[in-house]
Amino acid sequence: MGASGAGKSTLLHCLGGLDRPTAGQIYCGDRELQGLSEAELAEFRNREVGFVWQIHYLLPEFTAEENVMMPLLIRGLAREDAAPAARARLDEVGLGARAHHRTGELSGGEQQRVVLARALVGRPKYLLADEPTGNLDERTGEVISSLLADLHRGHGLTSIYVTHNPSFARSCDRVLYLQNGELAHV
């Protein structure tokens, strides 16, 4: 948590290998991310990190199932191998019956659940979520918050969330505050 501009999203980008820090080091296990090539970082992101953003970034020309399959297709899996995994994740987030609907045919909460399914389809170790309830009404935000907690436990994830939502933050195991790009004392 922290004020806008405190560095929360930048921290997630660095942890996920999307940005390189200007100072310091980031380790995932025994690997220092800064020492990885761009290709190695791309593979790290595809295989080990699931991303959930406030803005869904779903491809509107594809169905929910096709959007969920994307990380596996990028990984090189054949469509017939990726589809069952995508359907399983959609079932897990309660959207199995909506698998063949395009993005525009889904509500905001349904779109966010598609994003969760897409983030988990590759069986990542880490889940990074930037304001996952930020664009949702209070009730839908509570549903997504509960679903994130269930998925975190069920998949044995290391999950890091950025939020301005105090009730969502209270549901987390640990809350850290950023202030001017640094961890503040809590």
175: burial class by Cβ within 10 Å (0-12, 13-18, 19+)? middle
β-sheet bridge partners, residue 129: 52, 161
Q: For 6, list phi and psi in degrees, rounded to 5.
A: -75, -15
Phi first, then psi, for residue 116 (nearest 5°) are -65, -45
Q: What tens digit of pLDDT does each residue of 135-159 get? A: 888 888 888 888 899 989 999 999 9
pTM here? 0.90
Domain ranges across the chain: 8-55+62-183
Give residue 144's pLDDT.
86
Q: Spell out the residues 6+ positions from residue 36 whose beta carbon is closer than 8 angstroms to its own.
A: 17, 44
Sorting pLDDT into bands at 50, 70 and 90, what band is 57? Answer: confident
The pLDDT score that the predictor gives to residue 186 is: 60
Amino acid (one-letter) located at 99: A
pLDDT in tens, 96-125: 999 999 999 999 889 999 999 999 999 999
Q: Is residue 55 over pLDDT 90?
A: no
pLDDT confidence of residue 185 = 65
Tokens coding 172: 């987390």
DSSP-assigned letters across all residues of 142-175: HHHHHHHHHHHHHHT-EEEEE-S-HHHHHTSS--
Q: What is the pLDDT of residue 171?
A: 87
CATH homologous superfamily of 8-55+62-183: P-loop containing nucleotide triphosphate hydrolases (3.40.50.300)
Question: What pLDDT is attached to residue 164?
Answer: 86
pLDDT of 54 above 80: no
Residues of the chain with pLDDT > 70: what percent? 99
